[in-house]
Amino acid sequence: MPPVTEDRRLLNFASQIEGGALAQARQTASMPFIHPHVALMPDAHLGKGSAVGTVIPTLGVVIPAAVGVDIGCGMIGVRTEFTEDDVDARIAATGVGLGALRLEIERAIPLSPGHYNADLDSWPFTAAKIAELEKRARREHVDLAHSPKWRQQLGSLGGGNHFIELCLDETDRVWLFLHSGSRGVGNKIAQHHIQVAQRLCGQRHIKLPNRDLAYLTEGTPEFDQYIRELNWAQRFAYLNRAEMMDRFGAVFARWMGAEDHRETERVNCHHNYTQRERHGGKDVWLTRKGAVDAHAGVRAMIPGSMGTHSYVVEGKGNAEGLCSAPHGAGRRFSRTEAKRRFTQADLRARMRGIEYRDSAEFVDEIPDAYKEISTVMADARDLVTVLHELRQIVNVKGT
Look up 141 and say whether it is catalytic: no
Q: Tens of pLDDT along 156-173? A: 999 989 999 999 999 999
Crossing angle of helices 221-256/183-203, nearest 10°?
Answer: 160
Phi–psi pair at 328, nearest 5 degrees:
165, -160
Q: What is the pLDDT of residue 2?
A: 65
Instruction: Indicate the pLDDT class of residue 113, thresholds 50, 70 and 90.
Output: confident
Q: Tens of pLDDT along 237-263? A: 999 999 999 999 999 999 999 999 999
Percent of the chain scoring above 70 in pLDDT:
99
Give the integer Cα–Cα distance in Å for 169 and 203: 54
| Nearest of 182, 160, 158, 167 to residue 72 by alpha carbon | 182
pTM score above 0.85? yes
53 and 45 Cβ atoms separated by less than 8 Å: yes
Set 37, 162, 193, 327: catalytic member? 327
Q: At residue 5, does pLDDT exceed 80?
A: no
Q: At residue 10, does pLDDT exceed 80?
A: yes
Q: What is the pLDDT of residue 399?
A: 77
Instruction: Indicate the pLDDT class of residue 81, thresholds 50, 70 and 90.
Output: very high
* Helix (H) or strand (E) segment spanning residue 75: strand 74-83
- In CATH terms, 4-332+370-397 corresponds, of 3.40.50.720, 3.40.50.620, 3.40.50.300, 3.90.1860.10, to 3.90.1860.10
Q: Tens of pLDDT along 258-308? A: 999 999 999 999 999 999 999 999 999 999 999 999 999 999 999 998 889
Q: What is the pLDDT of residue 48?
A: 87
Domain ranges within the chain, ordered by starting residue? 4-332+370-397
Percent of the chain scoring above 90 in pLDDT:
94
Q: What is the pLDDT of residue 6?
A: 67
